[in-house]
Amino acid sequence: MRTHQGSAGARVLAFGGYQPARVVTNDELAASVETSDEWIRSRVGIASRRLAGPDETVADMAVAAAGKALAGSGLSPADIDLVIVATCTPEVMIPNTAAIVARRLGIGAPGAYDLNAACAGFCYALAAANDAVRAGSARHVLVIGAEKLSQWVDWTDRSTCIIFADGAGAAVVGPAEAEEPEAGIGPVVWGSDGDMADKICIKDRNSFIFQEGQAVFRWATTALHPIAKQACAEAGVDPTELAVFVPHQANLRIIEALARKIGAPQAKVASDIVTAGNTSSASIPLALSRMIERGELGSGDKALLIGFGAGVCYAAQVITLP
C-alpha cells in the first residue's frame, strides 16, 4: 500500500507510441470490398492504416508503447504506482489488460485498471491520472490507450472496415513542481450522452462494430468545439496560445472542421489518421508521440486534446508538452 503527499499539479513526463508492422493500403481493401482509394481519401482522409498480426495482442501493443514512454521519462518501473489502460477492445474481459501490462514491464504491485470510454478513453484516463497524482493516491502513473479494433471489424462491411485500425500510445504522468502547477495537465471538460448509445456500438458478443456514420459526423462537427473551447478557458489558455490541436483521429473532415471552429489558426493540427487510421483510444497519444518524434513539437508547447466516440463520451483538456 502506498500513500503520497499529493501535489499541486501533475504533468506528462513523456509520450510513447507503437504501430504494428503491417501496412494496409486503400487499394488492398478495394480488392476485397467495393470501395476505392479516392473514396476513402476524400471521405475519411485515410491513405493507409496499420493492423496487428494475428497473434499480436492489445497488451503486446500497450507494452511496446508504454516501454517507450517509460524510457523517455527517465523513471524506472519501480517508480510507477498506477497503470491505467484505456481500451474498448481488450483481449478478454477478465483479467484486465493493465495488470498484465504492468507485470510485463516489471512494475511491481501497482494499482491497475482498464477504462472504457471508447475513443475518448485516453483523455478520460489522463484526467484520472491527473486527479490521482494531485490527490496523492499515486505519484507516477502510466496512462495507455491501446486497441486491436481489427478483431471487432466485419471485413466485408465497407462502411467500417476502411476506418478502424490497431495501435497504442502511452504517457507517463507525474507531479508538477509546486511553483508551476499550471504547467501540467489542465482541468478536464468531459461528458456523455446515452441517448446516442446506439449510434456506435457492438450490439452483442457475436457482432462487429456498427456506426451510424452520418449521425456521429453531425454530432462531432456541431457539439464538440464548445467543449474544446471550454477546456481552453478552464486551463486559462487562449486558443491563440495553442501550439497544437490533437483531436481523436476519427475522420480528417471532422478534424479540419473542429480545427476551424476552435479559433486557433496558428496551431498545428494532428492528422495522424492519414497513415494510422482510426485507432480509438490510442489515436491521441499515438499522434502526439509521432509528432514529437518528428521534431514538430517542442517542450513547453501547449496542446489541446479532445477525445470523442461511442457512448457517446467525450473529454478535452489542455496539456503542456514534456
**Interface contacts to ligand UT7, rule CB under 6 A:** 35, 39, 43-44, 119, 158-159, 162, 200, 211, 213-214, 216-217, 220, 250-251, 254, 278, 309
Which lies closer to ligand UT7 via its Cβ, residue 157 or residue 238?
157
Cα distance between residue 309 and residue 304, in whole Å: 17
Please, which residue, 43 or 104, has the CB nearer to ligand UT7? 43
Residue with smaller CB distance to ligand UT7, 80 or 196: 196
Q: Catalytic one among 88, 119, 161, 232?
A: 119
Beta carbon nearer to ligand UT7, 278 or 289: 278
Enter the DSSP assignment of 212.
-
Give the nearer residue to ligand UT7 in terms of CB position, either 39 or 113: 39
CB of 36 to ligand UT7, least distance (A): 6
Q: CB under 8 Å to 314, separation ≥6 — which residues?
A: 120, 190, 191, 192, 223, 224, 227, 306, 307, 308
Identity of residue 207: S
Q: Establish whether 278 is a catalytic residue.
A: yes
Residue 251 Cβ vs ligand UT7, minimum distance, rounded to whole Å:
3
Which phi and psi angles does 100 have, rounded to 5°?
A: -65, -45
User: Least distance from C-beta 267 to ligand UT7, angstroms?
Assistant: 20
DSSP secondary structure string for all residues of 78-117? GG--EEEEE-SS-S-SSS-HHHHHHHHTT--S-EEEEE--
From the candidates 161, 248, 251, 313, give the one annotated as an active-site residue: 248
Please give the C-alpha separations between residue 177 and each of 5, 7, 53, 135, 213, in angstroms, as whole numbers: 13, 8, 42, 15, 44
Q: Point out the residue whose Cβ comes nearest to ligand UT7.
A: 213
C-alpha cell read off for 173: 504522468
Closest approach, Cβ 277 to ligand UT7, in A, equals 10
Closest among 41, 50, 63, 43 to 164, alpha carbons compared: 50
- Output the smallest distance, CB 119 to ligand UT7, in A: 4
Looking at the Cβ atoms of 117 and 173, the one nearer to ligand UT7 is 117
Residue 285 φ then ψ, to 5°: -65, -30
> Cα separation of 188 and 306, whole Å?
10
CB atoms under 10 Å from CB of 258, counted, come to 23
What are the residues facing 62 on neighbouring strands?
none
Q: State the first-to-last Cα distance of the chain, in angstroms, to the nearest integer.
A: 29
Report the nearest approach of ligand UT7 to the CB of residue 34 (Å). 6
Annotated catalytic residue, options 26, 130, 251, 278 = 278
Q: List, by residue number, the catalytic residues.
A: 119, 248, 278
